[in-house]
């Protein structure tokens, strides 16, 4: 079985290192193990997680929307919760 380091996994998923560690600690990656104090994450588990997200390119992240509209991410989140933005797609993050 092939494993990735947390840094490699974060880069592959396009997320920050700390965000990745939260996902690992919350069990998002089946088979992740700690070796000598460092997490090792199965490549298959990373690919499965990435496929789960499967967000098409035409969708924007909350950060991208906030930047384009010159709003805070908190405000954009509120607009989404109150269903003021059309075409939103909810992505459930495991954990």
Which structural domains are found in the chain, ordered by start? 3-53 (1.10.1660.10), 55-85 (no CATH)
Residues 30/45, Cβ–Cβ less than 8 Å: yes
Task: Inform me whether the pLDDT recorded for 95 exceeds 70.
Answer: no
Please tell me the predicted confidence (pLDDT) of residue 40.
Answer: 97
Task: Inform me whether the pLDDT recorded for 90 exceeds 70.
Answer: no
**CA angle in degrees (0–180, nearest 5) for 7-12-16:** 55
Higher pLDDT, 57 or 71: 71
- Burial category of 46 from C-beta neighbours within 10 Å (exposed 0-12, middle 13-18, buried 19 and up): buried
- What does pLDDT average to over the chain? 85
What gap in Å lies between CA 93 and CA 70, rounded to an integer?
26
pLDDT band, very low/low/confident/very high, at 84 (cuts 50, 70, 90): confident
pLDDT tens digit sequence for 2-46: 999 999 999 998 889 999 999 999 999 999 999 999 999 999 999
Residues 75/59, Cβ–Cβ less than 8 Å: no
Average pLDDT for residues 55-83, to the nearest whole number? 83
């Amino acid at each position: 079985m092939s494993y990735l380091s947390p840094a490699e996994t974060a880069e592959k998923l396009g997320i920050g290192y700390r965000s990745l560690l939260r996902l690992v600690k919350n069990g998002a990656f089946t088979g992740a193990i700690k070796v000598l104090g460092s997490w090792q994450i199965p490549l298959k588990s990373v690919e499965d997680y990435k496929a789960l997200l499967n967000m098409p390119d035409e969708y924007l992240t909350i950060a991208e929307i906030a930047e384009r509209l010159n709003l805070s991410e908190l405000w954009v989140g509120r607009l989404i919760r109150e269903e003021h933005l059309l075409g939103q797609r909810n992505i459930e993050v495991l954990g």
